[in-house]
């Protein structure tokens, strides 16, 4: 048997009414509500554009040769879709079916239930019987479907332990179901399922709560990352690293001194330095947040003023074009082409000298271009003024960051020198070589620590200053590029308008 292509004849044969007008074969089928093309040997879902997408609510394509779900996005009012007994391996391309309630996919080589997120709140019936689904992971996916009341899964190779517990197992997970495998679920069955799988239900509820909390935490983390990036804070440590203890001061000498000499108040000294580190990092963070707020307000104010300026320029150009249109109207009506008040009658449009009309067109061209040139110069000036203000603000922010990081590095060096002096003074040994070896070890360790913290501070400062400069360059590259594109588009529009007017006047003259 040959494959069938969906066309007007096939669609006509599958209509649910008595429409058989052969003379209207190529028209769009405006009133088709239900289309049944079962057993038609169809290979592809195509040419459905012949049907009105707003009226079709039921599409049945069972017992065909279809391998891929496609070309259904426009059928937003589709309520029922039957693709059973086909060769579909994957559920896909159903995002546009926002009202789908019944989905029939039995007897297809499906291995997963997926890509139905759009239908979570509308799908009521799902038939996936006699497919190739080998496990019950799909039940955790269907658990999120709030209105799913009927499910068919029989005939799949997936199994439960014990074998006869499939029904109670699925009822305990997909708790919205009223019908399972075409059998109504009784109250007793539901109670039994909940009793048998009570521990699993409790565990799933706990996992759901954890996922929700993790989802909220992840969202907050992403928002915080965006905020820090916008404020150039990505290079500044936060949380437990805020005093640099976790990374910079993680070395044997500092740990040895803190551990061995706690009773002498060394921890209080350390905490004093740590609080100084935290205070300076906080000052940098607050400065970055303040800078972001100032920058956001300046950019927002600029865009508002720019929008008003462009709107004003557009209105001015429209007035010019309106005057030109009025002039043309008076000419075509046989009024005086040279008088703005239209007081004296004149010859018809065909008798108007071409030179006079061409002169008026040239004047309109020059006026429009003068308006655009004036507007472009104002916008360029506004961009330059905004850059001056933001550059000054960024320079002040960089200077503050530089000052605080210099102070931070000095404090860190003072603390490490204190640790080194304390460690050296506490070395006790009768063997001079042993004492020298320990002092050398402490000195090398602290030196490495100083180099490490200096490198980290330098990287953090460099990241902040480079990010600030990059942000400044990026935003003004974007603004200048947008203005160039707007200017070119406007000039092109003016040129096209004038060119069309000249062509029309030349045709009228001839």
In a domain, 2, yes or no: no
Among 25-34, 172-181, 253-262, 300-309, the range of highest mean pLDDT = 300-309
**Other residues' Cβ atoms within 10 Å of the Cβ of residue 196:** 15
| 202 Rama class: left (phi>0) / alpha (psi -120 to 50) / beta | alpha
Query: Do 288 and 197 share a domain, yes or no?
Result: no
Q: Does residue 348 form part of some domain?
A: no
Cβ burial, residue 26 (10 Å; 0-12/13-18/19+)? exposed
Distance, first Cα to last Cα, the chain:
65
Taking the CA of residue 360 as centre, how many other CA atoms within 13 Å lie in the half-sphere pointing to its CB? 20
Same domain, 173 and 292: no
Confidence of residue 502 (pLDDT cuts 50, 70, 90): confident
Residue 66 has pLDDT above 50, yes or no: yes
| Highest-scoring range by mean pLDDT, 202-211, 329-338, 488-497 | 488-497
75 lies in some domain? yes
Q: Which of 25-39, 320-334, 464-478 has the highest mean pLDDT?
A: 464-478
Here the CATH number for the domain that contains residue 502 is 1.20.1230
Across 175-310, the runs of DSSP E, i.e. the strands, are 179-180, 183-184
CA distances in angstroms from 148 to 107, 123, 125, 171, 177, listed in the order given: 20, 6, 6, 12, 6
pLDDT band per the 50, 70, 90 thresholds, residue 378: very high
391 or 160, higher pLDDT:
391
Q: What is the pLDDT of residue 217?
A: 65
Domain count, the chain: 2
Phi, then psi, of 421 in degrees rounded to 5: -60, -40
Look at residue 380 and tell me whether its pLDDT is greater than 90.
yes
Residue predicted with more confidence, 422 or 93: 93
Q: What is the pLDDT of residue 387?
A: 94
Pairing of strands 102-104, 125-127: parallel
Instruction: Specify the pTM.
Output: 0.52
Cα 120 to Cα 103: distance, rounded to the nearest angstrom: 12
Q: Is 473 or 336 the better-scoring residue by pLDDT?
A: 473
Residue 391, CA distances (Å) to 81, 387, 401, 470, 482 in order: 60, 6, 15, 12, 20
Same domain, 191 and 266: no
The pLDDT assigned to 344 comes to 45
Nearest to 104 by CA among 44, 65, 43, 153: 153
The pLDDT score that the predictor gives to residue 297 is: 92
Scan for tokens 């609510």, then name that residue.
Answer: 57
Q: Does 311 map to a domain?
A: yes
Indicate whether 310 and 375 sit together in one domain. yes
At residue 335 the predicted structure's pLDDT band, cuts being 50, 70 and 90, is: very low
Lowest mean pLDDT among 132-146, 266-280, 375-389, 474-488: 266-280
Over residues 439-455, the mean pLDDT reads 83
More confident call, 480 vs 201 = 480
Q: Are residues 201 and 289 in the same domain?
A: no
Same domain as 33, residue 91: yes
Dihedral over Cα of 241, 244, 247, 249: its sign: negative
Q: What range does the domain containing 119 cover? A: 8-213
Q: Which helix (H) or strand (E) holds 36?
A: strand 34-36
186, 262: one domain: no
Instruction: Return all residues near 155 (Cβ < 8 A) that are at least 6 apart.
Output: 106, 129, 130, 131
- Mean pLDDT to the nearest integer, 306-317: 89
Check pLDDT > 70 for residue 163: no
């Amino acid at each position: 048997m040959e494959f069938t292509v969906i066309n007007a004849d096939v669609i006509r044969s599958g209509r649910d009414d008595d429409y058989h007008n052969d003379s209207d074969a190529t028209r769009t089928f405006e009133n088709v509500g239900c289309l049944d093309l079962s057993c038609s040997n169809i290979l592809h879902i195509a040419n459905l554009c012949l049907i009105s997408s707003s009226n079709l609510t039921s599409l049945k394509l069972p017992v065909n040769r279809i391998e891929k779900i496609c070309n259904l996005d426009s059928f937003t009012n589709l309520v029922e879709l039957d693709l059973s007994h086909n060769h579909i391996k994957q559920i896909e391309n159903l995002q546009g079916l926002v009202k789908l309630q019944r989905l029939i996919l039995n007897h297809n080589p499906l291995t997963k239930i997926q890509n139905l997120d759009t239908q979570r709140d509308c799908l009521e019936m799902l038939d996936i019987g006699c497919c190739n689904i080998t496990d019950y992971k799909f039940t955790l996916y269907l658990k999120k479907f709030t209105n799913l009341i009927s499910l068919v899964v029989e005939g799949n190779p997936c199994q439960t332990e014990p074998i006869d517990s499939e029904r109670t197992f699925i009822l305990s997970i997909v708790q919205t179901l009223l019908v399972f495998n075409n059998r109504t679920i009784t109250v007793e069955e539901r109670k039994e399922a909940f009793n048998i799988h009570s521990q699993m239900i409790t565990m799933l509820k706990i996992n759901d709560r954890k996922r929700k909390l993790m989802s909220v935490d992840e969202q907050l983390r992403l928002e915080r990352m965006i905020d820090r990036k916008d404020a150039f804070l990505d290079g500044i440590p936060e949380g437990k690293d805020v005093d640099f203890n976790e990374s910079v001061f993680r070395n044997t000498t500092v740990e040895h001194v803190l551990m061995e000499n706690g009773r002498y108040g060394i921890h209080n000294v350390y905490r004093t330095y740590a609080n100084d580190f935290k205070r300076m990092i906080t000052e940098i963070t607050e400065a970055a947040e303040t800078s972001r707020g100032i920058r956001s307000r300046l950019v927002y104010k600029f865009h508002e003023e720019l929008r008003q300026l462009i709107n004003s320029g557009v209105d001015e150009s429209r007035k010019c074009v309106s005057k030109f249109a009025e002039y043309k109207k008076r000419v075509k009506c046989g009024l005086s082409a040279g008088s703005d008040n239209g007081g004296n009658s004149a010859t018809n449009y065909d008798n108007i000298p071409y030179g006079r009309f061409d002169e008026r067109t040239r004047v309109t061209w020059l006026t429009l271009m003068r308006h655009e040139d004036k507007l472009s110069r104002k916008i360029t000036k506004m961009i330059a003024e905004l850059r001056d203000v933001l550059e000054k603000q960024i320079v002040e922010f960089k200077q503050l960051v530089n000052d605080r990081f210099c102070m931070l590095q000095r404090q860190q060096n003072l603390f490490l020198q204190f640790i080194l002096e304390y460690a050296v003074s506490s070395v006790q040994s009768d063997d001079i070589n042993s004492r020298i070896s320990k002092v050398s070890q402490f000195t090398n360790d602290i030196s490495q620590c100083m180099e490490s913290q200096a490198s980290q501070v330098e990287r953090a400062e460099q990241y902040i200053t480079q990010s600030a400069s990059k942000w400044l360059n990026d935003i003004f590259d974007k603004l200048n590029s947008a203005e160039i594109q707007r200017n070119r588009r406007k000039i092109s529009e003016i040129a096209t308008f004038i060119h069309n007017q000249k062509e029309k006047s030349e045709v009228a003259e001839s």
